[in-house]
Chain A
Amino acid sequence: MKRLILSLALVAAGCSSGKLMRYVPPDTRTDLTFNPATPERTQLDNGIGVLSSTFEHPATTTLALVFARGYVHDRVPGTAKLLGEWLQLEADTNLSPGLDAVGAAVSTSVGTTSTRLMVTVEHQDVPAAMKALAQLLLHADSELAFEAAKGHRLGAIASYRQNPAALAHLAIVQSTYGPSTSAFDSQGMGTRESLASISFDDLKAARNDMAVSASACWLIVGPQTQNDAYAWAVDATGGWGRRPPPTATTIPVAKQPGVVTFVPLRNFNTATILVGTGVPPHPTPALQLVASAAAGRSNHAMRELAQQTYGAHYAGLDDGPLSLLGVTARVPHEHAKDAAGFMVRSFADVRTLTEWELDYGTTREVVGAYAQRGLATAHVNRLHEAFERGYTFAVGAPFQALPTMPGPEQVMEAYRMHFLMKQLHVVIVGDPDVIEPHLKDVTHIVRTPEQILGPQRPAPEDLPSPTQDEGEGMPSPFEPEGASALD
């Protein structure tokens, strides 16, 4: 029942039926109470931060080591994500008695301005897990894993060539922020050329640049006290020397005039459309409500009015300075232009939102926020966000129980400030034979996947692999004679 989209528009349609409801639930916003966990912050002598929250949970603690270095700091595009992949492979494959003993499955993530290593473990294993995580970071040294990580990154770039949603996202990032040579171009992926130029020594140097005490912070969500957290952090990383982070790269922020971009891509059953605009980092609820409202209106228009079956969805990219909000949809190729038109108009229509729709939208945001706050990993994300923002919460005071829900005026203000029609970007990815004739009367630019991803698609034979000679062209020993035809 994945189709169940409780859209604003659908509900609005229900309301206008003129029937009285037998049963009206109470206003959910007035009676709800919530005592969120209180984050506390402390700092080791060497500058490493410790953010912890006491969080009741049945059995596990989630902890992370985060650094204020992300892909926006790349000297060579692709470095930070390659570093994340390498550390992930080291954790997956390097025999680490410490990680094995505590059942820790490490997950790494690289954003625009930070890099994080996270694990979830049983409570009694937290101190050992913190030590193992720090050891992994400092002692990762496998060149084999480096080669594998590079292969994975090149594979990821190649797979984008056949991923309409990823192409649409990259295309809108590039049209929103303008052409540059920074890692923004590829959301930190880099290109085949930039990745090829990164040596193992370069990557270890990038690791050393990142793993300095002044840019590091522990995030711990579990039943521990702040004193526990501090003692564990000292035990695991108190010996790190005090070293300041390298000078940060200037973060480019550009906002280009809106443009329609067409990306020709054949052989897919549907076209992919993304309509959106760049917004300030960590979009506020008011901004998100504007995009939700536009998605609801688009969905209603496409499903109910135009009988297009696939509907439209909210699209949000909260990636530090590279944040975007918009609406995305998959539609038959022949409907692509009309659907894009519905989606653009839905943004224009936001000014006509009713008070009821706004009320409904805000309440659902509140309920959704509650649901998120109940998850330890989501709570770690909140601590991470606080870290990225420079700890802009009052230490020792609870996080706000709920996001400050905007009133109609604030939503309209956010709309007027950040959703200017002239800065709305449209990307259509689909079959050129079907779509281009429809776009004759629309001013647009054409960007091929190759242009979006870099000058060339990676050639399979160029991918680095210690085993490539053995694997290339080798018949499968398990291939029987007379294998069945394609079914």
Chain B
Amino acid sequence: MQAVFLGAALLAASLSTPASGAQPKPLVPSKRYSLDNGLRVVLHEDHSQPLVAVRVLYKVGQRDDPPGQQGMTHLLEHSLFGVTKHLEIPVKLELARMHAIRANGTTEDDVMQLFEVVPTTSVHAAIRLESERMGHARFEVDNVEDEKRIIVRELAERRDNLQWGAALQSALRTLYPATHPLHPSTGKTLSPITTWDVQEFDRWSITPNNAVLVLAGDLPNDTEERIEQYFSRLLPGPDLPESRLPPTELSKTIRKKIRGAAGTSPLALLLWPLHEDDEAVAIVTNAVLSRRFSRRDALALSTSTAALEHMTLPLSFGGRTFGLASMGGPRATPQILEAELRTALLELVEHPPTANELEAALKRRRVAMLSELDSIERRAEFLARTEVSNTSVDMVNPSGVTPADVRKFVDTRLLRAPTLVILQTPPASQ
């Protein structure tokens, strides 16, 4: 979960390190330009390894799923590993041909990303492959139906085999009504989607003017020519309005008790809708409460033997929320875990963080984020997300937040605000 959090935090990170009086220095130096058809291109050179991370980010996500067809974007992402007009074997086999590693795709609330890491000698092939997916994907009935079954299995696996799977699904189901795009997809919502639907969805969303192409690593000299060669021929799609989710709202506290699958532990999950204006203070509060970055309450939680894991949740979970979660040991109950989390919040109000504590937590967080940029894959992701980000908050170095701001946020936005509480009990047989 932390990895997801940091990835999400990078989403809107500024391209610059803190000013500190000097000229801002790019965290990841890059060359950025656009083709005539609207495709945004970002190139980052690092010749220390003979590898290139290739990533295409499309500005289409779960929020764009048609009502009653939740899962459409996810299904499209899966289907883009099938056949195309000019590749004579399916994309997944072509990726193997070019010795790609970590070839995969992700679908989030607001974006879909397709990515792989290839040897330098396969960059040309990778550029061609991504242009094929962008402009010439073909959708066959058998393939689309297969992918629906695979997605249903993926969802079941996540629900049944991940500690937090059932609790997170329950939270999404509760926060968002059945017609909302972020309501979890199921076999029922995927079933009515036809191959034609997927093709139409692809036609308007998987287009050059809705995409960012990032190449990071050991770029050959002819990279820009190849990009021009393969992508400039693709026709732009319709201009899409910026789709925005309505704010997540909770008018009263809702409590849900769920029974976890076999092997799961007692869990407590607390979620609050987050106001857009609170983004910076939420980041700082997140760092202060996070066990990874802060020493606050870690010992109390540890010595209770109840909480084995305690974490803050990504701000982007389910649109825009702030979350606290705790997983218990053998003698914990979800109620004890919830009490511990609430106590940690009360403690923060009664004994607000000192300026030093706040600074130390933020420094830990910053170091963790910077070290993630170790890999060309993460740099490619960072650049892609930065290119489409529209937040003004510097996620790496949030500034201007005081201890008093944190205290006020915890008091008014969390402790006194309606809360979604999910309490998970392990199966009775355990």
Contact = CB atoms under 8 A, between A and B. Distances in A.
A396 interface: no
A472 B93 CA distance: 56
B23 interface: no
A144 B303 contact: yes
A100 B49 contact: no
A100 B356 contact: yes
Contacts of A122: 367, 370
Contacts of B426: 162
Interface string A140-182: 0000110110011011001100111000000000000000000
B371 to A, nearest CB: 5
B330 A458 contact: yes
A445 interface: no
B257 A484 contact: yes
B128 A23 contact: yes
B263 A22 contact: no
A466 B100 CA distance: 52
Contacts of A201: none
B99 A25 contact: yes
B336 A371 contact: no
A206 interface: no
Given A4-B81, A483-B257, A151 B370 contact: no
Nearest to A61: B371
Interface string A1-12: 111101000110
A2 B101 contact: no
B374 A57 contact: yes
Contacts, number: 268
Contact of B304 (A93, A102, A467): A467
B338 interface: yes
A368 interface: yes
A267 B306 contact: no
A6 B374 contact: no
A93 B298 contact: yes
A104 B299 CA distance: 17
Interface in B114-170: 117-122, 124-125, 128, 150, 153-154, 156, 160-161, 170
Contacts of A373: 49
Contacts of A2: 104, 154
Interface in B296-344: 298-299, 302-306, 308, 329-331, 333, 335-336, 338-339, 342
A310 B160 CA distance: 14
B75 to A, nearest CB: 11
B89 A4 contact: no
A391 interface: no
B236 interface: no
Interface string A266-277: 111100000000
Contacts of B203: none
B308 A155 contact: yes
A486 B102 contact: no
B51 A148 contact: no
B429 A11 contact: no
A367 interface: yes
Interface stretch (A31-39, A44-52, A244-252, A436-444): A31-39
A10 B93 CA distance: 8
A25 B122 contact: yes
A24 B89 CA distance: 12
A72 B294 CA distance: 33
Given A93-B295, A486-B258, A60 B367 contact: yes
Given A103-B360, A309-B153, A471-B304, A151 B262 contact: no
Interface in B340-384: 342, 356, 360, 363-368, 370-371, 373-376
B96 A10 contact: yes
A10 B264 CA distance: 34
Interface string A462-474: 0111111001101
A121 interface: yes
A23 B304 contact: no
Interface stretch (A13-21, A281-289, A316-324, A414-422): A13-21
B413 interface: no
A479 interface: yes
Given A104-B364, A476-B339, A374 B299 contact: no
Contacts of A147: 303
B261 interface: yes
Given A2-B154, A11-B93, A28-B122, A162 B430 contact: yes
A377 B375 CA distance: 10
B77 interface: yes
Interface in B75-114: 77-78, 81, 86-90, 92-106
Interface of B: 27-28, 48-51, 77-78, 81, 86-90, 92-106, 117-122, 124-125, 128, 150, 153-154, 156, 160-161, 170, 255-259, 261-265, 291-293, 295, 298-299, 302-306, 308, 329-331, 333, 335-336, 338-339, 342, 356, 360, 363-368, 370-371, 373-376, 421, 425-427, 429-430
Interface of A: 1-4, 6, 10-11, 14, 17, 19-28, 31-35, 56-60, 62, 89, 92-95, 100-105, 120-122, 144-145, 147-148, 151-152, 154-155, 158-159, 162-164, 266-269, 309-310, 360, 363-364, 367-368, 370-371, 373-377, 458, 460-461, 463-468, 471-472, 474-480, 483-487
| Top 7 A-B pairs, shortest CB-CB distance | A476-B335, A103-B363, A155-B329, A267-B262, A151-B305, A93-B299, A460-B331
15 contacts: A1-B77, A1-B105, A23-B125, A25-B99, A26-B122, A28-B119, A32-B120, A92-B299, A145-B299, A148-B302, A267-B429, A371-B101, A476-B335, A483-B255, A486-B257
